[in-house]
Structure 1
Amino acid sequence: MFEVNGTYANRKGEYTVLEINPPKMRVRYTEDGSEAELKIELQARIWENIAVEYEARAASRSARAAKRSAVAAANHYIKVISVPAMDEMNFPGWPERIVMAPPEDGEITLQSGDRLIFYALETQTFFAVATITGESKSANPKEFFFTVPADKAEFFPIDIDAVSSKLDKGADIDSVELESQPRFKRLRLEAEAFYPINEDDFELLAEALTEVAEEEEDEEDDEDDFEEDDE
């Protein structure tokens, strides 16, 4: 396991192997230059444990770096939907927590990690924040009640980060100003379309919707407390 001039470590610190004379070896510690005679068998066990710890820390750093990279590479979109029955949160893809990808010949290309703000045409409100959590899968849109002239489309899984309980209780279009889409409320919006926004606008909308969701939770808690008092 050990080699002369090889660098290893124990609980005291990092060291370089100077000589190997089984069952011991002479080493020099990197930090203070001191030398010591160490038992090879014991140091082998210590080094194996430390190596496992090093690998775990390296894996953790890699995972954090990958996560930061994914966040940095994430795109942000407003996802427009149409819900004729405004009192129901039941539109294509919502129960299954999926979104249909835009046409391949378009300018928008979705990927895992992208962030979405859902906007309802009928109520003109932003009502949900979501994150695409995986790769796309092909399916027939009719399986999810999408009414598009296609037999196959790509669908991405999503997680809902915040949502208003009802469409008309979301963030009203007139209550926000979008730097990256200043003419958004005057656009001829289409259902199932994606409109790119910058990260600042996304955070603005996400914060507004998170506040809406928290206020609704507080109202529900107050109602529960009131009912308990009546009893």
Structure 2
Amino acid sequence: MFELNGVYRNRMGEYTVLALNGQRMTVRYSDGSEAELNVNIQARIWENIVAEQEARAASSRHMRQSNKDTTHYIKAVSLPPGEELIFPGWQERVVMVTNPELAQRIKSGDRFIYYAVEAQTFFAVVTITGDMYEADPKQHTYTTELERAAFFPTDVDAVSPDLEHGVSVDSIDLESYPDFGKLPIEPEAFYRISEDDFELLAEALTEITEDEEEEVEEYEEYEEDEVE
């Protein structure tokens, strides 16, 4: 995929390919420094960067087209500190809406931020991707007396690796709920917020996700270079 004199990028910056030799290539960064890199690792990093750029562009187009019709929420769930990100509906990529009136208003394209009540931490950005359907909550591992409830399919746009790396409620100010951390937040409840508040939280969580991906890629590159 790499070509001589081609210009690419990794987490260190932009570089030009000077020479290709099997699974190794010599590159020159924009600051003039040169390095010998593993082709397979750099290919994966470059593909991830391109995918991130395309995702951001698609997200921007989507937001411009649908902002007028999109409603934003905080979705509260019970997830104690130190627990893995496993709770009802998460692995199946669905979300339950227990309020019948709200279930009729929520629609495909609406977006929300997951909030762990016990940890008081925001940890994921999610988009509703389909229409409502009714199901037995127990089939999605919910513990509730309800025999039927409304569910929506979702996509996860960004997620922190764990609650410790999420966005603490004390570290951010929300205009919609200035004292959100002091409110009696109920698990499984939705709290409508402004687009500005949503974008503030989404940007913070997206940065956390990208930083974590960079650390993993850098570690993998270091490990493979050490083996060679």
Per the normalisation by structure 2, the TM-score is: 0.68
Name which of 114, 120, 124 aligns with 1:118. Answer: 114
Q: Return the alpha-carbon distance in structure 2 between the equivalents of residues 146 and 153 of structure 1.
A: 10
Alignment of 1:73-112 (within 5 A): 73-84=69-80, 86-105=82-101, 109-112=105-108
Deviation at 1:107, TM superposition (A): 9.3
Q: Which residue of 1 aligns with 2:196?
A: 200
Deviation at 1:108, TM superposition (A): 8.3
Does residue 182 in structure 1 map to residue 182 in structure 2?
A: no
1:108/1:196 CA distance change after superposition, 3 Å: farther
How many equivalent residue pairs? 167
Name which of 146, 158, 161 aligns with 1:162. Answer: 158
Q: Return the alpha-carbon distance in structure 2 between the equivalents of residues 67 and 124 of structure 1.
A: 27
Name which of 117, 133, 140 aligns with 2:136. Answer: 140
Q: Which residue of 2 aligns with 1:59?
A: none
Q: Which residue of 1 aligns with 2:39?
A: none
1:87/1:229 CA distance change after superposition, 3 Å: farther
After the TM superposition, which of the residue ranges 79-88 and 179-188 deviates more from structure 2? Answer: 79-88
1:123/1:148 CA distance change after superposition, 3 Å: same
Does residue 213 in structure 1 map to residue 225 in structure 2?
A: no
Q: Which residue of 2 aligns with 1:50?
A: none
Q: Return the alpha-carbon distance in structure 2 between the equivalents of residues 189 and 68 of structure 1.
A: 31
Q: Which runs of 4+ in 1 moved over 2 A?
A: 66-71, 84-87, 105-109
* Partner secondary structure for residue 68 of structure 2: helix
After the TM superposition, which of the residue ranges 98-107 and 157-166 deviates more from structure 2? Answer: 98-107
List gaps (5 residues or longer) in structure 1.
Answer: 1-65
CA contact (8 A) 1:77 1:115 kept: yes
CA contact (8 A) 1:102 1:109 kept: no
- Deviation string 1:51-97 (CA, Å, 9 cap, x unpaired) is xxxxxxxxxxxxxxx98664311110000111247331110000110
CA contact (8 A) 2:81 2:163 kept: no
Q: Return the alpha-carbon distance in structure 2 between the equivalents of residues 120 and 84 of structure 1.
A: 7
Q: Return the alpha-carbon distance in structure 2 between the equivalents of residues 111 and 105 of structure 1.
A: 12
List gaps (5 residues or longer) in structure 2.
Answer: 1-61
- Counterpart residue identity of residue 123, structure 2: F
RMSD of aligned residue pairs (Cα, Å): 2.2
Q: Return the alpha-carbon distance in structure 1 between the equivalents of residues 115 and 220 of structure 2.
A: 30
Per the normalisation by structure 1, the TM-score is: 0.67
* Partner secondary structure for residue 222 of structure 2: helix
CA contact (8 A) 1:108 1:194 kept: no
Does residue 191 in structure 1 map to residue 191 in structure 2?
A: no
Alignment of 1:9-20 (within 5 A): none
